[in-house]
Structure 1
Amino acid sequence: MKKRLLAIAMATLMGLSLVACSSDKPKTGEKTENVGEGEKASTDYKIGMVTDVGGVNDGSFNQSAWEGLQRAQKELGVQAKYLESKTDADYIPNIEQFVDDDYDLIICIGYQLADALKEEAAKNPDKKFAIVDDQSIEFDNVACLMFEQAQASYLVGYIAGKTTQTNNVGFVLGMATSTMNEFGYGYISGVKDANADANVLQANINSFADASAGKTATNNMIANNADVVFHAAGGSGHGVIEAAREAKIWAIGVDSDQSKDAPETILTSAMKRVDNAVFDETKAVLDGTYKSGVKTYSLSDGGVDIAPTTTNLPEELLKEVEDVKAKIIAGEVKVPNNKADFEAKYGDIYDLD
């Protein structure tokens, strides 16, 4: 009898042990993280983004950056948040909020945040930062994400030069800086190489958040017979697109594929893949491969290009653009991205320096 009772007790203990072990296993469909002792799960990483005054819904590079961070949240599992800057005075408080909340990476969108970031990065050397469109900060904790925007602008300029029926096209700039002028140098170069007879009307509206100024500048160009207008003006570009739509002329978008804003009016867009850069930088923090310094995206790595929506572009012109793109990548066509190189080939025809 004692032997039988002992056997029953042993069997009971083994059953309880199996139940306890099985409770440690994940349920079917439950996501798990392979995390070693002392390591962080991807879901514990917090990535913050500070916009410039254009705001997260600018339809341009702030919005593109947020889309990249949302993709990182979905694919990598990180926590993602943005803070909008209504004025320049918001830059430092927004950065400081992410610092205080112990974010793992703080990404500043646009060169306008450079001074604020420089101050905060110096005060917080243990924090990782990144900035889009500025390479002036040479700190060990700041990654500078740059783009060969002149290359994408050249391609849309080539398209504009081939498309215009009046030999008058326009360029609306949000603000004249060395970085932003690259858009103009590339665009006008592309226009002139495609159509030497074309005239480029130019306007600097000195704002990335003034759609009415963008619209007024474009209407003035339309009054002077422009039938294609390219903007590099952030949120102000909404006014450019609206004026083009009302006048039934072509507009060319910037930074992201803006065709959805006016499907019958947007000829193409000069894309700058800020979304990819933000995603890459987030992944680098997770992988432990984050590096400070300058990283430049170009046509060769898909960092810049024309938009994938090509509904309004003739097939023959698309083939020409692909040939031009290949020549740029091969170094056969050199796109100027500064005043000296531009003027050496085209003369003093850029009015926005």
Structure 2
Amino acid sequence: MRKTWKKAVALIAAAALLAGCGQSSDEGSSSAAAENAAGSEMAAMIISIAQGDPFLVLAYDGVEQLGEEYGVETKIIEALDKSEYSEQIRAMAEAGANPIYVVWDDLAAEAIKIAPDFPDTKFIVVDCYVTSELENVKTIVVEPQEAAFIAGVVAANTTETNKVSWIGSADQPVINKFRAGFEAGVSYADPSVECESLYIGDANDPNKGSELTKQVIGKGADIVMHSANKAGLGVIRACEEEGVKAIGADEWQGSINEDVVFWSALKDITGAVYQAGKSALDGSFTAGMDVYNIKSGSRLYDERDYEKLPDEVKKAVDEVEEKMRNGEIEVPSDVE
């Protein structure tokens, strides 16, 4: 393991890194802030792709909510190359950030290596299944397959061509949970509906997302769900251009075009990020993994979409949701 930097060097490096790579906000008022038992003055999130990704925007919203409530400064730091991961994480820890969020697998693995050097700093791993037995590391996961299952039920009850499609960013465990849920939901609602699932291979390229979407539309799909981060915006754009319906992911994406994005499979990462950070500041932090799903109260869809559904589709959604809550339907998390 890399040795801890000398303090003076670390502080200088931290200042340089923050100036060059980060975005910060300090809107919280200490006079109105919640009690900060940890005494932290900064919460930071480290990401491995450029800012602007819709999912990361949602995740950082949770950090900003934490900052506003507890009166701490918030920063988002880009570590765009693997060679920067250790450097950025250490810089944040040396600068006093607590908690430090790291998003996705590669950053998570590096944070777990570094966490023992900073036992008083809470590290929060976001949106992957990397775990640790360290007392200062927590992993948070919002399970997406239940929301995707309902999206599949809606798609199967809405398609006019009997062909739908799911497009993911990459063949990865978190993304495949969306796929597993969507495919299962389609099959549950109507086994005769065909569902083609494909991967873009890039979470950050909307043009590739658009090209792949036009391919499946050309083969007859009239509803396309994406789980493709920024590339998913290209999926929606292609649906708009070709006059077919799209299903969004993570947040309510009807704001792009409600006539096209008629349904969104929600993933409340904002709330999960906020709750995990709150535990770090109020003294209730526990190590391990926190899983958010239908039983923990996670929202699976937006009421604006639900209200626009035909009555028979609303009934199907209601029945499926109730069966999921009481355990009659167990949604798969792995692709068959």
Unaligned runs of 5+ in 1: 1-28, 344-353
Equivalent residue, structure 2, for 1:161: 156
One-letter amino acid of the counterpart of residue 240, structure 1: V
Match 1:254 to one of 249, 252, 260: 249
**What SS does the corresponding residue of 1:325 show, helix, strand or coil?**
helix
Moved more, 227-236 or 111-120: 111-120
Report the equivalent of 1:93.
Answer: 87
TM-superposed deviation, 1:103? 0.5
Partner of 1:67: 61
Q: 1:215 and 1:88, CA in 2 relative to 1: closer, same or farther beyond 3 A?
A: farther
Partner residue of 2:267 out of 264, 268, 272: 272
Secondary structure class of the residue paired with 1:196: coil
Structure 1 segment 206-217 matched on structure 2, within 5 A: 206-217=201-212
Task: Answer yes or no: is 1:31 the counterpart of 2:25.
Answer: no
State whether residues 295 and 325 of structure 2, in contact with CA within 8 Å, keep that contact through their aligned partners in structure 1. Answer: yes
Rg (Cα) greater in structure: 1
Match of 2:170 in 1: 175
Question: How far did 1:134 drift?
Answer: 2.3
- 1:81: Cα distance to partner? 1.3
Contact 1:172–1:232 (CA<8 Å) still a contact in 2?
Answer: yes
Say whether 1:244 aligns with 2:226: no
Equivalences for residues 1-353 of structure 1 within 5 A: 31=31, 44-53=40-49, 55-59=50-54, 61-138=55-132, 139-310=134-305, 312-339=308-335, 343=336
Give per-residue Cα distances to partners, 1:193-231, cap 9 Å, x unaligned.
Answer: 111111111211122111111111101011111111111
CA contact (8 A) 1:147 1:304 kept: no
Over the aligned positions, Cα root-mean-square deviation in angstroms equals 2.3
Aligned-residue offset at 1:114 = 2.5
Give distance in 1, aligned partners of 2:177 and 2:300.
Answer: 15
Q: How far 1:272 sits from its partner (Å)?
A: 1.0
Does the 8 A contact of 2:109 with 2:130 survive in 1?
A: no
How far the C-alpha of 1:232 sits from its partner, in A, is 0.9
Deviation of 1:334 (Å): 1.0
Partner of 2:24: none
SS in 2 for 1:103: coil
Partners of 2:135 and 2:45 in 1: CA distance: 19
User: Is the 2:105–2:130 contact (alpha carbons within 8 Å) kept by the matching residues of 1?
Assistant: no
The Cα of 1:74 is off from its aligned counterpart by 2.4
SS in 2 for 1:226: coil
Change (3 A) 1:334 1:30: closer
Cα pair 2:34 2:70 within 8 Å, conserved = no
The verdict on how the C-alpha distance between 1:57 and 1:318 changes in structure 2, with shifts beyond 3 A counting, is farther
Distance 1:156 1:32, change over 3 A: closer
Partner of 1:4: none
C-alpha distance after superposition, 1:117-176 (max 9, x if no partner): 223224433321011222332122210101221111101011111111101111111111
CA contact (8 A) 2:33 2:70 kept: no
> For structure 1, which segment, 92-101 or 226-235, has the greater mean C-alpha deviation from structure 2 after superposition?
92-101
The change in CA–CA distance for 1:190 and 1:212 in structure 2 (over 3 A counts) is same
For 1:58 and 1:35, how far apart are their aligned partners in 2?
Answer: 32
Q: CA deviation at 1:35?
A: 7.1
Report the TM-score when normalising by structure 1.
0.80
Q: Pick closer, same or farther for the CA change 1:222–1:33 going to 2, 3 Å.
A: closer
Provide structure 2 residue ranges, at least 5 long, that are not aligned to the other structure: 1-28
State the secondary structure of the residue aligned to 2:220.
coil
Match of 1:20 in 2: none
1:140/1:35 CA distance change after superposition, 3 Å: closer
- Amino acid in structure 2 at the alignment position of 1:291: T
- Three-state SS of the structure 2 residue aligned to 1:64 is helix
Q: Give, in whole Å, the separation in 2 of the partners of 1:127 and 1:167.
A: 52
